[in-house]
Structures are given as structure tokens and as C-alpha cells.
Amino acid sequence: MQALALHEGAIVVRSAKWQTTCTILHGGDETFIVDSPVFPDELDALPGIVSQAGWGVSGLLATHGDWDHLLARLAVPDAALGVCETTAARLRAEPGAAQRRLREVDAKDYVERAGPLSLGQVQAIAVPGYLGLGEHELELQPAEGHTQDGMFLFSPEHGVLICGDYLSPCEIPMISEGGSLDGYRSTLRRLEEYVERAAWVVPGHGVPLDGQRAAAILREDLAYLDALTERGGEAALPLARRGAAMEKIHAANVARVG
């Protein structure tokens, strides 16, 4: 696991599993943990990172309902989890799905945990909208396409855009079950203005990006989705994101789009 301070009030933790990111945002007397790392030792380290910074956890946020973004409850079990309304609806419609998927992946990776995942109190947040963080506000926008649910968050105070499973430097666009190509395009278009405003862009998987690199990835992702529409399986993958794992994601995209 790696931890990187992007701002005096923003720390990004990057998991060894899929380079999954977790962002800690602090303002005034409030601190939010957004998304989560994956492995038990990484989760165990989260409270210490927050405490070392002199902060206390006010709540948890998740960009969407995929299991690998919901694990902060294992680190801070008493904190409420905030999600957008579409994610709250997804979690209600799929009771126990995240827990089952976590058990499956842990069994494959030989991972043992101290206890099962409990999502506890889930609070639905209206999106688009704003969420207070100390004296400032986070801007929240819908982010559908990768899945049927989701949001991205922008903190003008920190200059940090947390975009969920979009704009990854290590993963091509992934249209999961329930997601859609048109929705993915809409989210990328929505992200454009925020990428221009951001000093840092934190993808759901991969290193934090400066605005220029994130904008280049956004253009590549739109080009890939256009090619996927026009050429299906023959669509070229972004040059820096190729290999067996990306070919597998591409094949799944072709099957869903087709």
C-alpha cells in the first residue's frame, strides 16, 4: 500500500490489489474517507493514517456500489456510509451481493479477515448536489456507465477530483453488468469541465493524475468507446493500456455492447 498527500487536507491511499484508491478529505472539523483499499492490513492502517494527521473520521463515502469500494466499514465500523441515491437503490436491490463477491475474491486470493463486511447505516445523498466538508462543500455529480449507479466528487478547496472507476491510467473503460456505453460517454463528458478545474484527479484504480494527463486519458477513453461502437472486437485499445487483462475487459465490453 502507498500513501500520498496531495494537499494538506487530502491523502490518497493506493492498494496493492488492482491499484484501488481511497481518498481521505479533511476540512474544518470533518474528515471523510472516500472508497477503500482492499487488503486487511491496508484497511487496518487507515485509522492510523487519519489519526497521525490529527483528524477524526466523520463519515465514509463510496463512489459506487462495487464491493472493492465499500470496504472502509471494515476499518471504521461505527461510521455511517454515504452513497448517491442510485447506489443506495442498488444496494437495496442486491442485498448481500458485495459481501458474497468479497468472500469469492478472498477465497481466490487466500485472504482471511477478522470478520464479515457489514455496510451498516447507509445514507442516500441527492446527486447532483453538494456535501458540506467543514466550511466548504464537495460538488457531487452522477457517474453512470461503468455500472448503473455512481457519483464523482470534486473538492474545490483541495483541487481534487475523485472520479470513481473512470479515467484510469491502468485500466480501459469497463462496462460492467448494468452499465452502458451511452452512460459511460455521458459521464466522461460530464467530467471534462472538472478535469480542467482539478489540480489532481484520483481514479478508482491507478496513481493520482495531474489535469493534463487526466484530460489525455479522457480523450483516449472517448476514442475507444467510439471505436467499440463502430468496430466492436476490432477496436484498438489505448496504447498504454494493453495486455491480457485489458483484452479480457475488452471482450466483455464487446459482448455487452453487442
Could you tell me the residue range of the domain that residue 93 belongs to? 2-257
**Phi, psi values for residue 189, rounded to 5°:** -65, -40
Percent of the chain with pLDDT over 70: 100
Domain count along the chain: 1
Q: So what's the pLDDT on residue 150?
A: 97
Contact 157/27 with Cβ under 8 angstroms? yes
Q: In angstroms, rounded to a whole number, what is the distance separating the alpha carbons of residues 258 and 244?
A: 21
pTM for the model stands at 0.95
pLDDT tier at 2 (50, 70, 90 boundaries)? Answer: confident
Q: In angstroms, rounded to a whole number, what is the distance separating the alpha carbons of residues 109 and 117?
A: 17
Q: 233: how many CB neighbours lie within 10 A of its CB?
A: 12
For range 55-63, the mean pLDDT: 96
Q: So what's the pLDDT on residue 194?
A: 98
- pLDDT for residue 258 is more than 80: no
**Phi, psi values for residue 241, rounded to 5°:** -130, 70
How many residues comprise the chain? 258
- pLDDT for residue 94 is more than 80: yes
pLDDT tier at 1 (50, 70, 90 boundaries)? Answer: confident
For range 172-180, the mean pLDDT: 94
Q: In angstroms, rounded to a whole number, what is the distance separating the alpha carbons of residues 256 and 152?
A: 24
DSSP result, 102-165:
HHHHHHHHT---SS-----SEEEE-SSEEEEETTEEEEEEE--SSSS--EEEEETTTTEEE-SS
pLDDT tier at 173 (50, 70, 90 boundaries)? Answer: very high
Question: Average pLDDT, whole number, for the chain?
Answer: 95
Q: So what's the pLDDT on residue 257?
A: 86
Contact 240/216 with Cβ under 8 angstroms? no
Whose CA is closest to 198, among 256, 117, 141? Answer: 141
**Phi, psi values for residue 222, rounded to 5°:** -65, -40
Q: So what's the pLDDT on residue 4?
A: 84
Find the CATH number of the domain harbouring 93: 3.60.15.10
Q: In angstroms, rounded to a whole number, what is the distance separating the alpha carbons of residues 83 and 50?
A: 21
pLDDT in tens, 199-233: 999 999 999 999 999 999 999 999 999 999 999 99
pLDDT tier at 93 (50, 70, 90 boundaries)? Answer: very high
Q: Which amino acid is at 168?
A: S
Percent of the chain with pLDDT over 90: 93
pLDDT in tens, 143-162: 999 999 999 999 999 999 99
Q: In angstroms, rounded to a whole number, what is the distance separating the alpha carbons of residues 26 and 19?
A: 22
